[in-house]
Amino acid sequence: MSTFFIAGTDTGVGKTHATCALLHALRATGLNACGMKPVASGCVETAEGLRNDDALALQAASSAPMPYEWINPLALRDPLSPHLAAAHEGVEIRLAPLSEAFGRLIDIHDAVLVEGVGGWLVPLSRGLMASDIARQWQLPVILVVGMRLGCLNHALLSARAIATDGCRLVGWIGNRIDPAMAAVDENLATLRQLLPAPCLGVLPYGTPPQLAAAQLDLSAILE
CA distances to 119, 152, 156 from 174, in Å? 15, 11, 13
What is the model's pTM? 0.96
CB 54 within 8 A of CB 37: yes
Q: Is residue 59 assigned to a domain?
A: yes
Query: Any catalytic annotation for residue 6?
Result: no
What's the CATH code of the domain at 67? 3.40.50.300
- Domain around 82: 2-215
Which residue among the candidates 27, 37, 148, 154 is catalytic per the annotation?
37
Residue 176, annotated as binding a ligand: yes
Q: Is residue 138 assigned to a domain?
A: yes
| Amino acid at position 51, single letter | R
Report the alpha-carbon distance of residue 208 to residue 106 in Å, rounded: 26
Residue 110, annotated as binding a ligand: no
Q: Is residue 222 assigned to a domain?
A: no
Q: Is residue 36 assigned to a domain?
A: yes
The segments of the chain whose pLDDT lies below 50 read none
CA 110 from chain center: how many Å? 18
Query: For residue 171, what pLDDT is reported?
Result: 98
Q: Is residue 220 assigned to a domain?
A: no
Q: Is residue 13 assigned to a domain?
A: yes
Query: For residue 94, what pLDDT is reported?
Result: 95
Report the alpha-carbon distance of residue 180 to residue 196 in Å, rounded: 27
Q: Is residue 221 assigned to a domain?
A: no
Query: For residue 223, what pLDDT is reported?
Result: 72
Closest CA to 25 of 151, 185, 203: 203
Residue 19, annotated as binding a ligand: no
Q: Is residue 151 assigned to a domain?
A: yes
pLDDT in tens, 130-158: 999 999 999 999 999 999 999 999 999 99
Closest CA to 202 of 168, 223, 181, 222: 181
Considering its fold, how many domains does the chain have in total? Answer: 1
How do beta strands 33-36 and 74-75 pair?
unpaired
Residue 54, annotated as binding a ligand: yes
| Amino acid at position 87, single letter | A
